[in-house]
Each structure stands twice: as structure tokens, then as C-alpha cells.
Amino acid sequence: MTDDWTPRLAPGLEDIAAMARAARAALPEAYRPAATEVSLRVEDFAPDSILQEMSIHDAFGLTGLYDGIPLTEKSVMDQPHGPDTIWLFRRPILDEWADRGNVALGALVAHVYVHELAHHFGWSDAEIAAIDPWWE
């Protein structure tokens, strides 16, 4: 029997946002309050301005981004610049999910969300990779 995929829809922006909110809710209690202070924004792709600023030529190359001042660098002298934000990019996430073929979509969204949240806490990519070798 062949599974009929015609009535199925790809997860939308709100579906990805719901998965990220579930990942936030599952965080250890010590991290949850700070995580709820970070805005969540889900878009199909990163805006061109972000891609240009980061010198990324392929929009599928960016699944998420932390935009803000890490907690380790915040100062009472900082001028407000807007809320710290975690961006998740739906189409690159779905593309990576399809390419991997061995991970649940919710797990991938949670991974990207937690990776970006780690930047909010002041972790570098190298520090994150040392404890989370996701690519393996």
C-alpha cells in the first residue's frame, strides 16, 4: 500500500514556532526565565540584510540566528536597541531535516533554538560545538 502524501502540508511558520516554544518549555528551570525574555521570530528565510551582513550567499545556509547582546556582555550603560531575538528560518530548517533523514523535525528545531539561545548566554560557536557535536 502506497502512502498518499497529496493531502499533507509542510509545517508552516507557526508550526516551527510551536516546536521552538516546546523546546523552551522543556529547558531546565535555571534557564527558562532568561529564555522567555528573548523574542522568537520565525521566517521562511533570513532577510537579505542579514544575509549580506553575514556574507552568506545561500539563504539555505542559515537555519537560525541570535540577534542581541549576550548576557555576559550586557551593561546598565547599554542603550536599548530592541529586544534580543532568536530567529529561526523555516525553509533552511526543513531542507536540513530532509537532507538528514534521520532526525525528527521537532528535535532539529529544538537543536537550532537551543544553539541560538546558548549565544544569548554568551557561549561561542566553538564552546557550543564542544558539548553538542550535532553534525556527527
Q: Is residue 28 part of a domain?
A: yes
Q: Which residues of 109-136 are buried (b: 16+ CB within 10 A; e: fewer)?
A: bbbbbbbbbbbbbebeeeebeeeeeeee
pTM of the prediction? 0.87
* Nearest Cα to Cα of residue 45 among 19, 63, 57, 67: 63
Tell me, what's the pLDDT at 133?
A: 66
Count of domains observed in the chain:
1
The model's confidence at residue 100, banded by pLDDT at 50, 70 and 90, is: very high
Q: Is residue 19 part of a domain?
A: yes
Cell 544575509 belongs to residue: 51
pLDDT tens digits, one per residue of 19-33: 999 999 999 898 899
Range of the domain at 39: 13-69+82-131
* CATH number for the domain that contains residue 113: 3.30.2010.20
Q: Is residue 27 part of a domain?
A: yes
The model's confidence at residue 2, banded by pLDDT at 50, 70 and 90, is: low
Q: Is residue 89 part of a domain?
A: yes
Chain centroid to CA 66: 8
Cell 544553539 belongs to residue: 115
Cα distance between residue 53 and residue 46, in whole Å:
11
